[in-house]
Amino acid sequence: MSCTTILVGRNASNDHSTMIARTDDGHFDVKRIHVVEPDKQPRKYKSAISHVQIDLPENPLRYTASPSVDPKNGIWAATGINSANVGMTATETITSNPRVLAADPLVTLQKAKGNQKEIPGGIGEEDIVVLVLPYIRSAREGVRRLAELLEQYGTYESNGIAFNDEKEVWWLETIGGHHWIARKIPDDAVVINANQFSMDHFDLDDAFGAQSSHMCSQDLREFIQSNHLDLNQGGAFNPRDIFGSHRELDHIYNTPRTWFMGRYLTPYSHTWDGPNAEFHPESENIPWSLVPDRKVAAEDISYMLSSHYQGTPYNPYTSQDTGLRGHYRSIGINRTGVTSICQIRSDVPDAVKGIEWICFGSTTFSAWLPLYTNVPQMPDYLRKVTLDVSTSNFYWSCRLIGAMADKCFAATFQDIERYQTAVAVQGRRLILEYDHKIAETGDASLAQEANRKLAQMAQEETGKALNIILKTASMQMKNGFQLSDT
C-alpha cells in the first residue's frame, strides 16, 4: 500500500515523547480500532495472502490494532501500542531496484500446479503487526523479532516498519526477500518517508559492533559485495543509493510529499522554494532525517499527514490557475483507511504512557481523536464498524464528511477546520484531565472512562459537522433552481 510516515525522536517533540505516525492508504479499506486481549491472540497464524503458517509464542501482551473490518484478505492490523508501552506501525510500502530483487528475490506464494504442491510465500503487511507487536517490550526488541521472522520466512514485498518506546524510535527497511537494515532515529530528529527506500546514512561498523544505533542482516557486507550493489563513490555508504530506486514515477508520487514535510519542519534552516532552493519537489536528495526548527507536537504531525500542498501551486483545491494544480500526489488522499500517531510519553504513570491518535478516512477532512491504549476495550463508536455505511460509527461518518466536503471545498473548509479544532481541543482537555486524575488516584481503570467520554465527544462533534457539510453540499447541487431564477 502507498503510505506516508513521520517519526519523531524524544528530544524533537514538545513533551519529550516519542511518536511514530503513518497514513494507511489502501483501497478504501473499512477500518476500526479495537483491543486484542492475550486470550484472543492466535497461537498458530496463517496468512490469507501468502498462506505461510507460523507458530506464535504463548505469552502475548495486550495490544491495540486497527484491522480491516472485512477479513477476507487477512487482518491488516496496521498499527498499535501494546501493554508494555511499545508502539508499532506496519507498513510503509517502499521501493527497491532490480539488482537487489534479483540477488534476493521476494518470497511469493507459488500455487499448486499439477503434481507440484503449493509453496507458501513470506510475510507482509497483512501479517507483521500480529506477528511482532504482542511479543516485544522495547522498540529494539521489535527490530530483532521482525528480523528473525524475515530471515526465516522472507517477505513478498518491500516495506519499512517503525517501532517506538519511551526512549527510542527504530526504523527497519527490508532489502529483497530476506535481508534488512535498521537504524535508531536520532533523538533530536524527525524522519519523513513517502514510499521510497529512504535511509541515506548507515554506520556498518556500529551495526557489526556495539549496535548502539544500527542493526542489519549478519551477511549484509557480503551480500552487497558479491552482488556488486555498491554504487557509492569515495568510500561513502548511502543505503538509499544501494537499495533504493530512482524512477521518474518517484518524482511525481513520492519525493514531493517529503519536500512538503521537510519544508514545514525546517522553513528557516533550509531553502525549499524559489530558484535558489536547496530542495525542490522532485529532488532525490531530500534528507531522511531533519532537526526541526522548533519542537514538534502531535498537531504538527496531523497537519503534515493531512496535507494537500496548501500554500503551494500544487494544491488541487486552489482556485488559482497555477498550471501545476494537482500535479503531485497529496499526502491526504481519498482512499486512506486509517491514520494513527503512536505516542509514548514519559511524564505520566506507566499505565497511561501510550496514547494513540486515530483518524479515519481522508485526513484532509477528518478529525484526530486521542485515545488511551492500555484499556480492555475500545468504545463502540470506534470498534463496532460494519461494511455498510452508517453514521453510528466514527469511520463511516468521517468518510461521508470527506466525500461531501471535497466537492465543495471552498464553501466547507472553514467548517472542516472548526470541526477538527473542536475535536482536538476537547480531546486534549480530556487527556489532561484524566492524566491528573489517574496520577492522583493511581486508578488506571479511569482510562476506560476517559475513552468513553472522548468517543462521545467525537460522536457529537462529528454529528454537528455532518449536518453542516450536508447542508452546504446540498445547496451546491447542480440541479438547484428556484422560482426567482426564471
Q: Which residue has the cell 478529525?
A: 367
Average pLDDT over residues 438-453: 97
What's the pLDDT score for residue 276?
Answer: 94
- Asked if 9 contacts 213 with a C-beta cutoff of 8 angstroms, the reply is no
Average pLDDT over residues 100-107: 98
Domains along the chain?
2-364 (3.60.60), 386-478 (no CATH)
What's the pLDDT score for residue 1?
Answer: 59
| Residue 408 among the catalytic residues | no
* Three-state secondary structure call for residue 214: strand
Strand order in the sheet with 159-164: 79-81, 87-93, 159-164, 169-175, 179-184, 214-216
Lowest mean per-residue pLDDT among 5-19, 238-252, 295-309, 449-463: 238-252
* Termini Cα distance of the chain: 51
On the question of pLDDT at 246 being above 90, the answer is no
On the question of pLDDT at 248 being above 90, the answer is no
On the question of pLDDT at 475 being above 90, the answer is yes
What's the pLDDT score for residue 250?
Answer: 87
Average pLDDT over residues 367-395: 98
What's the pLDDT score for residue 172?
Answer: 98
The beta-carbon contacts of 14-17 under 8 Å, at least 24 apart in sequence, are 14/295, 14/296, 14/297, 15/297, 15/345, 15/347, 16/345, 16/346, 16/347, 17/343, 17/344, 17/345, 17/346
Residues whose CB is less than 8 angstroms from the CB of residue 145 and which lie 6 or more positions away in sequence, other chains included? 131, 132, 135, 136
What's the pLDDT score for residue 239?
Answer: 96
DSSP code, position 244 = S
On the question of pLDDT at 485 being above 80, the answer is no
Q: Which of 3, 216, 359, 398 is catalytic?
A: 3
234 pLDDT tier (thresholds 50, 70, 90): confident
Residue 141: which H helix or E strand, with range? helix 139-153
Give 392-414 pLDDT, tens digit per residue: 999 999 999 999 999 999 999 99
Number of other residues whose CB lies within 10 A of the CB of residue 125: 24
What's the pLDDT score for residue 278?
Answer: 98
What's the pLDDT score for residue 349?
Answer: 96
482 pLDDT tier (thresholds 50, 70, 90): confident
Share of the chain above pLDDT 70, in %: 100
CA dist 7 and 10 (Å) reads: 10
CA dist 455 and 394 (Å) reads: 9
Of 151, 150, 184, the C-alpha closest to 168 is 184
Cell numbers found for residue 277: 532552493
On the question of pLDDT at 483 being above 90, the answer is no
Give 252-311 pLDDT, tens digit per residue: 999 999 999 999 999 999 999 999 999 999 999 999 999 999 999 999 999 999 999 999
Cell numbers found for residue 379: 468504545
What's the pLDDT score for residue 26?
Answer: 86
Cell numbers found for residue 377: 476495550
Mean residue pLDDT of the chain comes to: 96
What's the pLDDT score for residue 2?
Answer: 79
* Three-state secondary structure call for residue 200: coil
Give 25-58 pLDDT, tens digit per residue: 988 999 999 999 999 999 999 999 999 999 999 9
CA dist 332 and 413 (Å) reads: 14
Of 246, 253, 175, 245, the C-alpha closest to 217 is 175
Give 118-167 pLDDT, tens digit per residue: 999 999 999 999 999 999 999 999 999 999 999 999 999 999 999 999 99
